[in-house]
Copies of this chain bind each other. A is one copy, B any other.
Amino acid sequence: MSARAVKNRGATAPTVQDVAAAAGVSPMTVSRVLSGGPNVRPEKVQAVMDAASALGYRRNENARSLRPGQRTGLLGVVITNVANPYYAQVQLGVEEIVTSDGMRLLVGNSGEDTERERALVNDFIGRKVDGLIVVPAGGDVAHLRAATAAGVPLVLASRQVDGLDADVVLVDDEGGARDGTAHLLAEGHRRIAFLGNRLSVFTSRRRQEGFERAHREAGVAFDPALVRAGQNDDVAAHDVMIDLLALDDPPTAIFSANNRNTVGVLRALAEHRSAADSMHIVAFDDFELSSLMPFTLSVIEHDPRELGRTAARMVMSRMQADDERESEMIQLPTRFRR
């Protein structure tokens, strides 16, 4: 059978009208049957079912959602970086929850770009999503405020945004970073480098605060020259790490604030085995096979999938028409693993 034989490009999809005609009933009866509506004679139900499957009828969800009071069953998810395994897990957690209600995911990648995030959010609103889960890139939040104003339930994931009243689910960034740093300090390290994203990224700021708090609590001053915030990917982190190793007085331990930085740090250390042997690394975000790494590596674990699930539950609970609760904040725990 050739491609041509089975294609059907021009053919318009069958509609309720077609099914109705084939079943010898009115479109309304078809609609009733397919929506599981009551009060239809069994024989007609059968006729409709037969006609529908014979014609390969599938309800046009877009037309359906046009009617007032109908949901689209779409959830918009805007993520800063889908390729980051961490966020892939978040996406999976979200899907896991909403799929049981027959909802579908409209997924967009912002690439940490506020402008792209704005475009995605606006597009999703235009597609009448029933809710939005956003990992905000930061910067201007007018589009997020607009979403809320448009009555679309919004949940922020991983990152909080100033001046925006919305539900948010976070990881205990500061506490986790504090614990990890405290561990290094307790081991006697006094020159601990910090590698993280730029300070405008919520999680990085919080993790840096935890790093600083641990120092304060231990009564140890940290060297600002060892604090490097601004690496968005592993390549940049690698270069910064090489820099640090070249210092006259290099760090004896590393605190890496996220998995992109960790990858760069480890790659750099692999090129400097001698330095690596005495180096203790504490990494925020666990990653697959981290325990097999040939380094002294401890991780601050947390559960991205659970974060996705939590965000999904929050947004779904907001979809109740009569929901009027104040916005809430949920913080998920971290766990230090030596």
Taking beta carbons and an 8 Å cutoff, which residues of A are in contact with B?
1-4, 6-13, 56, 58-63, 65-66, 68, 72, 74, 82-83, 85, 88-89, 91-92, 95, 99, 102, 104-109, 120, 122-128, 145-146, 148-151, 165, 263, 266-267, 270, 287-289, 291-294, 305, 321, 323-327
A56 touches B150 (CB 8 A): yes
B62 touches A128 (CB 8 A): yes
Distance in angstroms from A168 CB to nearest chain B CB is 12
A6 touches B145 (CB 8 A): yes
User: How often does this chain occur in the complex, in copies?
Assistant: 2
Which residues of the partner chain B approach A4 to less than 8 Å between Cβ atoms? 324, 326
Bound complex: CA A158 to CA B151 (Å): 40
Q: A9-B151, A151-B11 are in contact. Are A83 and B72 (CB under 8 A)?
A: no
Bound complex: CA A89 to CA B87 (Å): 12
B60 touches A63 (CB 8 A): no
List 17 interface pairs A-B (beta carbons < 8 Å), by A numbering: A2-B326, A3-B324, A3-B326, A4-B326, A6-B145, A6-B148, A7-B148, A56-B146, A61-B126, A62-B66, A62-B127, A82-B88, A92-B109, A95-B107, A95-B108, A105-B107, A266-B292
Q: Which residue of B lies closest to A269 (CB)?
A: B292
Which residues of the partner chain B approach A122 to less than 8 Å between Cβ atoms? 58
Which residues of the partner chain B approach A292 to less than 8 Å between Cβ atoms? 266-267, 270, 293-294
